[in-house]
Amino acid sequence: LTADTPMSRYWSAVVHGLTPYVPGEQPKLDNLVKLNTNEHPYGPSPRALEAIRAATGEALRLYPDPNAEALKAALARRHGLQPQQIFVGNGSDEVLAHAFMALLKHERPLWFPDITYSFYPVYCGLYGVAHRAVPLAEDFSIRTGDYLPQGDTRAGAIIFPNPNAPTGRALALAEVERIIAANPEAVVLVDEAYVDFGGESAIALVDKYPNLLVVHTFSKSRSLAGLRVGFAAGHTGLIEALERVKNSFNSYPLDRLAIAGAVASVEDEEHFRESCRKVVSARETLVAQLGGLGFEVLPSAANFIFARHPARDGAELAAELRKRAIIVRHFKAPRIDQFLRITVGTDAQCAILVDALEEILRD
């Protein structure tokens, strides 16, 4: 790779520039209070666990259903759509990757917020998608007006999380709809990884706008990050494009255990609602407690909060917490390097966090 060949040029231009996922975010230590990757603290539906156990039999000898029909049918029923309007993948990261390959590359750049999910620019590099980062407002909200075409300046495609990550701020559905309606020629991908903790889902608009794709994950509100399941809902034309790319890549997106567990999770609406409600209630308590310690906390509609202390350095606070075996996320990025992103854990984990911060701030 040192000679000047097309391969070595690709290596230095693209691959060398990639940053591997920070291994430090998944440390293998006992007794950690792990509040850094937005996992759900209460665990999946017992019915999902039972379905996964039941699927671990001799049938594992056989390939899974390449169309994951049972899951598409369950999701279609849950969201009032047709199964052909659903695409499933190995975690929403894989669904997003397929969307970047199949739908988001145009002559005009892909637009997304300048503070957002860190994988978007990574996928742009990997798949050669030109992009434009649109600054957030002063209060870290997405400004709808910035995504409307102005004369000849318009997006080739648009992607944003709602609620946004890592800020947690949500955009009202009417504002999301303004963006979709004003850009009929651009695919608008709304990444709703955190929507079940207080946002308004754009899945309700899928039948109305053929340019809308909504992506969900089972990793957060369904507490199944370890199973790796995500899906997209959209017009059949968009879904077909995703299926074509997928079939050229890996015809079996989900294994038998993932399909079984995901179907049972979707069918256990009561567990889903109750476990999300518990996280939202713990979030409100945590926001009030951190406010009491002098933190400024952005309004959150997610299962994490984004907070800064006016008198303390963000990196130092994260390091002090880490010394006490509490890990939260800190980003060394402009505008947000004073913030901590803290996953809402169990009541006990939140109490340990608040006590530790109180102690650190006293020093």
Contact (Cβ atoms closer than 8 angstroms) between residue 71 and residue 262: yes
Site for ligand PMP in 226-255 (CB under 6 A): 230
Q: Residue 347 carries which DSSP code?
A: H
Q: Which residue's CB is nearer to ligand PMP, number 225 or number 361?
A: 225
Determine the Cα angle at 205 with ends 283 and 92, to 5°: 55
Minimum distance from residue 293 beta carbon to ligand PMP (Å): 26
Name which of 357, 360, 329, 321 is nearest 25 in CA terms. Answer: 329
Minimum distance from residue 43 beta carbon to ligand PMP (Å): 16
Minimum distance from residue 171 beta carbon to ligand PMP (Å): 13
Binding to ligand PMP by residue 191, rule CB under 6 A?
yes
Q: Quick one: which of 165, 187, 279, 287 contacts ligand PMP (CB under 6 A)?
A: 165
Cis peptide bond prior to 121, omega within 30° of 0:
no
In order of 49, 257, 345, the CA distances from 263 in angstroms are: 11, 10, 25
Minimum distance from residue 215 beta carbon to ligand PMP (Å): 7
Binding to ligand PMP by residue 92, rule CB under 6 A?
yes
In order of 143, 334, 341, the CA distances from 316 in angstroms are: 31, 16, 14
Binding to ligand PMP by residue 303, rule CB under 6 A?
no
Residue-wise DSSP of 264-323: HHHH-HHHHHHHHHHHHHHHHHHHHHHHHTT-EE----SSEEEEE-TTS-HHHHHHHHHH
Binding to ligand PMP by residue 225, rule CB under 6 A?
yes
Q: How far apart are CA 198 and CA 97, in angstroms?
A: 26
Element containing residue 232 per DSSP (H, E): strand 230-234
Minimum distance from residue 7 beta carbon to ligand PMP (Å): 29
Contact (Cβ atoms closer than 8 angstroms) between residue 197 and residue 166: no
Which region among 2-10, 86-94, 124-132, 285-293 touches ligand PMP (by CB under 6 A)?
A: 86-94
Q: How far, rounded to the nearest angstrom, does the alpha carbon of residue 294 sit from its chain's CA centroid? A: 29
Q: How far apart are CA 361 and CA 8, in angstroms?
A: 50
Q: Which residue's CB is nearer to ligand PMP, number 91 or number 253?
A: 91
Minimum distance from residue 92 beta carbon to ligand PMP (Å): 3
Q: Quick one: which of 93, 255, 268, 320 contacts ligand PMP (CB under 6 A)?
A: 93
In order of 8, 141, 284, 301, 341, the CA distances from 298 in angstroms are: 44, 10, 12, 10, 10
Binding to ligand PMP by residue 221, rule CB under 6 A?
no
Binding to ligand PMP by residue 196, rule CB under 6 A?
no
Binding to ligand PMP by residue 201, rule CB under 6 A?
no
Q: Which residue's CB is nearer to ligand PMP, number 254 or number 356?
A: 254
Q: Which residue's CB is nearer to ligand PMP, number 64 or number 168?
A: 168
Minimum distance from residue 44 beta carbon to ligand PMP (Å): 13
The footprint of ligand PMP (CB under 6 A) covers: 91-93, 117, 161, 165, 191, 193, 217, 219, 225, 230
